[in-house]
Structure 1
Amino acid sequence: MDRNVYILLGVLMNICLGSVYSWSVFRKPLEEALDLSATQSGLPYMFFLVFYALLMPITGRYIDRYGPRVVAMVGGTLVGIGWLFAGFSDNLPMITIGYGVIAGSGVGIAYGVPIAVSTRWFEDKKGLAVGLTVLGFGMSPIVTAPIARRLITHFGPFVTFRVLGVIFFIVIILLALFFRFPNRKEKEPNEKISEEINGSIQNFTPSEMLKSSTFWYLWLCFVIGTFSGLMAIGISSPVAQEIVKLTPEMAALSVSIFAIFNGLGRPLFGFLTDKISPRYAALINFAVIFFSSLGMLFVKEGSKLLFIMAFCMLWLSLGGWLSIAPTATAKFFGLLHYSKNYGLLFTGYGVGAILGNLISGSVRDISGSYMFNFYITSILSIIGIIIAFYGLKQLRKS
């Protein structure tokens, strides 16, 4: 089978896994159905992202041990169970357990599989391959947000959870059957090219990586980038409805538009990370966050174009970090322990998810508006530029 097929399989699986980015479509209906505050309606989303991030480092070692097929099937099963559990719940704690803990864990288990497979098949084009593979995760709301919005309108949020749970379970399990790592003969041509390009890169064990300052600078950059992006994703639909005064249907459509840019950010910044280094790709990304946040400070009722432009760029920035981070891990620390190393770095995503969700919801509940969040992201982007410029550099073992 042609190696490009594995990218396609990864895209399709990630469309299912990335449905979390459509969560803002569920927020208003759940707030109305269960009388929730803005902070409360963000809890299932936050727990999903936290358990997604927690399971990544734990699962990395099992992908190598049991193979991508088995790990993906386990993850897909938990995703389906979690969505169904949420669909049969009638209160926030149970929804949080089903959607947040169980489905989030399932995504954490399955997410690393397409990435690990892509990096093995495309050792000569790691950044671009990873970026294309996770394209589906970022662009998932193009498919899932309108479907969820339509189902919610006709059947309510709980039936929607059940329907999507069944679909995701079936699709992920079927796709998992085709995943595998290349054998030695299939790998050799790409290894030769990779060695010519990356011959000076050394392989760091997880413990060696954790002792390096470069890892912690990269981790901090990842936290800032995911904080800004995940915060924006979690409040996209409420901001559209409350500040710009779009209808729920138009808000859901805008989420689909944003998802295109989230998806495009992945191959774009994967390509940039390959061509101009993780440092300069990160600098460009933080500049995008800064100017997008600045633009949002001028948004008011009716400012549709400015709102769409700013949020497109914020979604693009998050997509970018989900290519910069894994590609930088491979470039800085090698491929030998890649699954474990990237899993450890991915904990930064969990920290960004917790902070982004809690702060954005609290700001809304305290001030009555989501707008003050963009002062925070603009300041953090400047801090990110400083960290990336001085800290993201190739290192050598002593």
Structure 2
Amino acid sequence: MKTLSRARQILIAGFCINLCIGILFTWSVFKKALVMDLGWSNAEASMPYTIAIVTFSISLLLAGIIQDRFGPRRVLIAGTLLSGIGLIASGFGTTPDMLIVSFGLIAGGGIGFAYACLAPAAMKWFAPSRRGVVNGLIAAGFGLAGVYLAPLITTLIGGWGIEKAFIFLGAALLLIAVPLACTITNPPEGYVAADNGDAVQKQQPIREEINWRGMMRTPQFYGLWFMYLCASSTGLMIIGNITSIAAVQTDMAGAAHLVVILALFNTFGRVGAGWLNDKIGGLSTLGISFVLQIANMLMFPYYAGEMGMMLGAALAGVSYGTLPAVFPSLTANFYGLKNYGTNYGVVYTSWGVSGFIGPIIAAFAVDSTGTYELAYFASVGIMSLALMVCLMMAQAAFRKRALEAKAKLAESAADVTGAAETLTSAQAR
């Protein structure tokens, strides 16, 4: 009972830390202010966000390696400190280059260090059959941050300006997230959570713990990496530009509530996909999400008015929310938990690369054509490729399970035959 209570404490603390560091999902609010108030171009206003995504990805890999060796607490404390300091420094970043350093490099790196430790620590406290739900809940904090941060940032910018908004947010993050980071630990050596595993988890037993070198020799790694790259490119394109898309496509002057809607449905997607992952498997869950993303991108050019934009934001949020709930679970299922921090960090580098693809496609489309339609159609092509890879991986997994089942059946038949022969021999004697 005591360990169960501790596991829940880790889960709640991780969720709350993600609520503090999930500021990446509100960048479109900052971007709009940079363009409208400070006269930056779309490309200039997108670059700190793009660099933050790349830095986030690299620092997550480094943090994964460190926390696999030394545990999560020190890495988390360093990450939350860097996040707060980077945001405060962004309040003094009056040029694109300065904001790239303060927000893109310092805050982005700190967010990556903090985020890297939360899911691995929580998963080690819970049973394998609950990995999807645990990942979904931890990730939900990161997505849910936009629900309160978008209106808060809008208010801060309107009342005190964008510079002081960064400073206030950084100070609040230091006061809340750093103390919570001090409470996150791995379970004691030899700890094993009680498991009432369901059928899906039993179909994917972990036969051995595989390190990152072994992981990169498997075809599953490249499938996971490519699917994550494609799906997150589309999601980040919408997340980073939703308020600008609304302004260009429907002449909506104030669209911060779209960030809230996107964040809410992003959260629902994370929790729902985590639950679905544990019921039908990760690849099946991803396939459903990819089809939804393709349909939404095909419909996006035709969304008109506020209701259309709300629908597009909701569907984009649900689809993107699937990714951080399912890909960590798939990584753990394929390669184990011992080296999970490093392994998932390597897989997650695809997210960093996607930070260039999605936002840059969007910026190029709107700066060159005046609309985002080119970016939507490019995303349809990208997601179609991801769906093809997902279907091939699912087919390969099905064939592998069928062969394993056939082998077990043959082994059981051989055992029965052997037992019958032994009985016949005994009777003859």
TM-score band, normalised by shorter chain:
over 0.9
Paired position in structure 1 for 2:422:
none
Q: Write the letter of the residue equivalent to 1:360.
A: A
Q: Does 1:288 align with 2:292?
A: yes
TM-score, scaled to structure 1: 0.94
Paired position in structure 2 for 1:157:
162
Paired position in structure 1 for 2:253:
247
Partner SS, residue 188 of structure 1: coil
Partner SS, residue 23 of structure 1: helix
Identify which of 138, 153, 170 aligns with 2:143: 138
1:67 positional shift: 2.1
For 2:44 and 2:361, locate their aligned partners in 1 and report how far apart those are by CA, in whole Å.
12
Q: Does 1:126 align with 2:98?
A: no
1:14-65, CA deviations, whole angstroms, 9 ceiling, x for partnerless residues?
Answer: 0111111100001121113432111111001111111000111111121133
Identify which of 67, 78, 81 aligns with 2:71: 67
Q: Does 1:30 align with 2:42?
A: no
For 1:290 and 1:224, locate their aligned partners in 2 and report how far apart those are by CA, in whole Å.
11
Summarize the alignment of residues 207-218 of structure 1 with structure 2, pairs less than 5 Å apart: 207-218=213-224
Q: Does 1:232 align with 2:238?
A: yes
Q: Write the letter of the residue equivalent to 1:381.
A: M
Paired position in structure 1 for 2:52:
48
Q: Does 1:202 align with 2:204?
A: no
Give the paired residue count. 391
Paired position in structure 1 for 2:341:
339
For 1:261 and 1:67, locate their aligned partners in 2 and report how far apart those are by CA, in whole Å.
32
Q: Write the letter of the residue equivalent to 2:359.
A: N
Paired position in structure 2 for 1:372:
374
Paired position in structure 2 for 1:170:
175
For 1:199 and 1:221, locate their aligned partners in 2 and report how far apart those are by CA, in whole Å.
23
Answer yes or no: is the 8 Å Cα contact 1:123–1:194 preserved in 2.
Answer: no
Answer yes or no: is the 8 Å Cα contact 2:28–2:242 preserved in 1.
Answer: yes
For 1:233 and 1:201, locate their aligned partners in 2 and report how far apart those are by CA, in whole Å.
38
1:120-165, CA deviations, whole angstroms, 9 ceiling, x for partnerless residues?
Answer: 0113311110111110101111011110000001111111011101
Identify which of 271, 276, 285 aligns with 1:272: 276
Summarize the alignment of residues 52-131 of structure 1 with structure 2, pairs less than 5 Å apart: 52-124=56-128, 125-131=130-136
For 1:341 and 1:190, locate their aligned partners in 2 and report how far apart those are by CA, in whole Å.
25
For 2:206 and 2:51, locate their aligned partners in 1 and report how far apart those are by CA, in whole Å.
40
For 2:247 and 2:207, locate their aligned partners in 1 and report how far apart those are by CA, in whole Å.
49
Change (3 A) 1:184 1:53: same
Answer yes or no: is the 8 Å Cα contact 2:79–2:110 preserved in 1.
Answer: yes
Answer yes or no: is the 8 Å Cα contact 2:68–2:340 preserved in 1.
Answer: no
Partner SS, residue 372 of structure 1: helix
1:350 positional shift: 0.4
Paired position in structure 2 for 1:387:
389
Q: Write the letter of the residue equivalent to 1:298.
A: Y
For 2:110 and 2:314, locate their aligned partners in 1 and report how far apart those are by CA, in whole Å.
28
For 2:308 and 2:207, locate their aligned partners in 1 and report how far apart those are by CA, in whole Å.
43
Q: Write the letter of the residue equivalent to 1:146.
A: P
Q: Write the letter of the residue equivalent to 1:102.
A: I
For 1:33 and 1:152, locate their aligned partners in 2 and report how far apart those are by CA, in whole Å.
10
Partner SS, residue 256 of structure 1: helix
Answer yes or no: is the 8 Å Cα contact 1:295–1:306 preserved in 2.
Answer: no
1:345-372, CA deviations, whole angstroms, 9 ceiling, x for partnerless residues?
Answer: 0001001111111111111100111232
Answer yes or no: is the 8 Å Cα contact 2:68–2:338 preserved in 1.
Answer: no
For 1:4 and 1:12, locate their aligned partners in 2 and report how far apart those are by CA, in whole Å.
12
Larger radius of gyration: 2
For 1:239 and 1:371, locate their aligned partners in 2 and report how far apart those are by CA, in whole Å.
10
For 1:35 and 1:247, locate their aligned partners in 2 and report how far apart those are by CA, in whole Å.
16
Q: Write the letter of the residue equivalent to 2:192.
A: E
- Segments of structure 2 that go 5 or more residues without pairing to the other structure are 402-429
- Segments of structure 1 that go 5 or more residues without pairing to the other structure are none
1:274 positional shift: 2.1
Q: Does 1:181 align with 2:186?
A: yes
Summarize the alignment of residues 298-377 of structure 1 with structure 2, pairs less than 5 Å apart: 298-300=302-304, 302=305, 304-377=306-379
Partner SS, residue 346 of structure 1: helix
For 2:271 and 2:303, locate their aligned partners in 1 and report how far apart those are by CA, in whole Å.
29
Answer yes or no: is the 8 Å Cα contact 2:135–2:274 preserved in 1.
Answer: yes
1:319 positional shift: 1.2
Change (3 A) 1:331 1:71: same
For 2:89 and 2:72, locate their aligned partners in 1 and report how far apart those are by CA, in whole Å.
26
1:201 positional shift: 3.9
Q: Write the letter of the residue equivalent to 1:373.
A: A
